[in-house]
């Protein structure tokens, strides 16, 4: 028998050991994820997805190679039942190596929270076509199917991998005339307990397990946000000189009370910001909404007639991490598919000190309306006004954070909201 027929090809051998290492590493990562509720767990989930897709691609390549390149025959001395069991195990392993990533892919694509998949934080990977945009009942059914299939296949993987390893060791250690391990580790001598290649495989397996416990992927963090568009100051319009007017003395017109008490309309300038701050697992998160509008009628001399209405596009929330930002749009958080906007309206104002005020109004978020107060400072110079204010709100009172995220052990209930704006009198 030729050397080529006494072992697998070099391509098959490389693919086999790469997939084996990836699966072992993947199992350790899965044990450590803890549901992905912490920043570290979330990062491990993203790594788990990346490795899963890698296993899928490698397994498809391995299957294609297997179908086009005949494997070496099993040893003649093997019992018929052993040969049958080996074939069943090989077929089962292919089902698991391909099925596990696909069922995981289904789970991610049909998840309530649509988190984009970036392979190793760099390469975008799409959701399965059609699943992400299904109606909620159908999406839930697909997610349940993927979850159940993933769990069943995972237990099947434990069983078949253990059976596969046990069979290889049985033939290597106790059957001198059945060189099975030598098919994938050329040169291994059957019957040798301390064969260098066997020792190398054991050491490599322990190294992969250690790496699975040691790896610490960077958790999502608030990267510096790009600055909002700068405030554009309009240059004053120059008027051509005119002849000096003739001075005519007239009595000043009497100012009516209505004119004296009328609030001014203000236009918010570019560069104004509406921000928020919270924490996740003790790590600070800062972000802002990039699309929002405000209708402002306000004058310190006419607080009783002043009013403000703010509309916020919830899909414009950014926090310095694209995967986290997309997840905030999901049903467990802002639920932008059903509640695209949040609004704050205020028609009662109180002066609390020099240039200091409090706006009393109503915040509507996720279809829930609650009273909300916003302390702010105001400085008016001519037709320019600068406003800054900070308040806090309870996210749980508005249903922001559903399911496991209702708990405040990882993300606190209190969220700080800040506004800094420049406005021009209309």
- 3-state SS record for 214-249: HCCCCCCCCCCCCCCCCCCCCCCCCCCCCCCCCCCC
Q: Are 71 and 139 part of one and the same domain? A: yes
Q: Are 37 and 125 part of one and the same domain? A: yes
Indicate whether 244 belongs to any domain.
Answer: no
Rg of the Cα atoms in the chain: 33
CB neighbour class for 347 (10 Å; exposed up to 12, middle 13-18, buried from 19) = middle
Q: What is the pLDDT of residue 200?
A: 92
Cα separation of 225 and 232, whole Å? Answer: 20
Q: What is the pLDDT of residue 240?
A: 46
Q: Are 202 and 305 part of one and the same domain? A: no
Q: What is the pLDDT of residue 332?
A: 85
- CATH number at 106 reads 1.20.950
Indicate whether 219 belongs to any domain.
Answer: no
Cα separation of 187 and 280, whole Å? Answer: 53
pLDDT tens by residue, 245-270: 444 344 444 444 444 568 999 999 98
Cα separation of 86 and 71, whole Å? Answer: 13
Q: Are 353 and 280 part of one and the same domain? A: yes
Indicate whether 187 belongs to any domain.
Answer: yes
Q: What is the pLDDT of residue 139?
A: 82
Indicate whether 296 belongs to any domain.
Answer: yes
Number of structural domains in the chain: 2
- CATH number at 389 reads 2.40.128.110
Q: Are 78 and 194 part of one and the same domain? A: yes
Give the chain's residues under pLDDT 70.
1-5, 35, 220-261
Contact (Cβ atoms closer than 8 angstroms) between residue 300 and residue 340: no
Cα separation of 184 and 256, whole Å? Answer: 97
Indicate whether 227 belongs to any domain.
Answer: no
Q: What is the pLDDT of residue 57?
A: 96
Q: Are 52 and 170 part of one and the same domain? A: yes
Q: Are 210 and 268 part of one and the same domain? A: no
From 214, 242, 272, the end of a domain falls on 214
Q: Are 195 and 280 part of one and the same domain? A: no
**Residues pairing with 12 in the sheet:** none
Residue 385's domain spans which residues?
264-425
Q: Are 183 and 273 part of one and the same domain? A: no
Q: What is the pLDDT of residue 5?
A: 63
HSE, CB side, 13 Å, CA atoms: give it for residue 253.
Answer: 5
Q: Are 48 and 194 part of one and the same domain? A: yes
Q: Are 54 and 188 part of one and the same domain? A: yes
> What's the predicted TM-score (pTM) here?
0.67
Q: What is the pLDDT of residue 226?
A: 59
Q: What is the pLDDT of residue 73?
A: 84
Q: What is the pLDDT of residue 246?
A: 42
């Amino acid at each position: 028998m030729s050397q080529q027929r006494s072992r697998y090809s070099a391509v098959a051998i490389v693919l086999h050991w790469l997939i084996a290492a990836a699966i072992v590493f993947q199992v350790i990562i899965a044990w450590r994820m803890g549901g992905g509720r912490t920043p570290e767990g979330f990062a491990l989930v993203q790594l788990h997805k990346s490795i899963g897709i890698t296993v899928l691609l490698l397994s498809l390549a391995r299957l294609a190679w297997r179908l086009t390149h005949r494997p070496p025959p099993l040893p003649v001395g093997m019992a018929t039942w052993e040969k049958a069991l080996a074939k069943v195990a090989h077929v089962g392993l292919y089902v698991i190596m391909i099925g596990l990533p696909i069922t995981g892919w289904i789970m991610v694509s049909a998840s309530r929270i649509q988190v984009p998949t970036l392979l190793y934080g760099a390469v975008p990977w799409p959701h399965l076509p059609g699943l992400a945009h299904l109606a909620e009942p159908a999406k839930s059914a697909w997610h349940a199917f993927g979850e159940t299939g993933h769990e069943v296949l995972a237990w099947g993987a434990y069983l078949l991998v253990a059976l596969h390893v046990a069979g290889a060791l049985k033939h290597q250690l106790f059957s001198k005339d059945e060189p099975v391990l030598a098919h994938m580790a050329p040169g291994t001598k059957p019957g040798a307990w301390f064969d260098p290649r066997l020792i190398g495989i054991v050491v490599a397996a322990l190294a992969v397990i250690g790496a699975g416990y040691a790896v610490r992927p960077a958790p999502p963090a608030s990267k510096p946000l790009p600055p909002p568009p700068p405030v554009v100051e309009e240059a004053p319009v120059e008027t051509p000189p005119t002849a000096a007017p003739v001075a005519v003395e007239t009595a000043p017109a009497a100012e009516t009370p209505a004119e004296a008490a009328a609030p001014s309309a203000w236009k918010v300038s570019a560069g104004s910001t509406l921000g928020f701050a919270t924490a996740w697992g003790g790590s600070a998160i800062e972000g802002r909404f990039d699309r929002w509008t405000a209708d402002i009628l306000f004058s310190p001399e006419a607080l009783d007639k002043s009013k403000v209405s703010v509309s916020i596009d919830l899909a414009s929330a950014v926090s310095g991490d694209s995967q986290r930002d997309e997840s905030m749009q999901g049903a467990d958080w802002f639920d932008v598919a059903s509640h695209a906007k949040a609004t704050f309206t205020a028609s009662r104002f109180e002066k609390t000190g020099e240039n200091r005020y409090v706006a009393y109004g109503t915040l509507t978020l996720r279809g829930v309306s609650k009273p909300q107060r916003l302390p702010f400072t105001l400085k008016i110079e001519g037709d320019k006004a600068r406003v800054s204010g900070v308040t806090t709100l309870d996210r749980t009172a508005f249903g922001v954070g559903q399911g496991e995220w209702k708990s405040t052990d990882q993300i606190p209930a209190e969220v700080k909201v800040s506004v800094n704006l420049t406005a021009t009198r209309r």
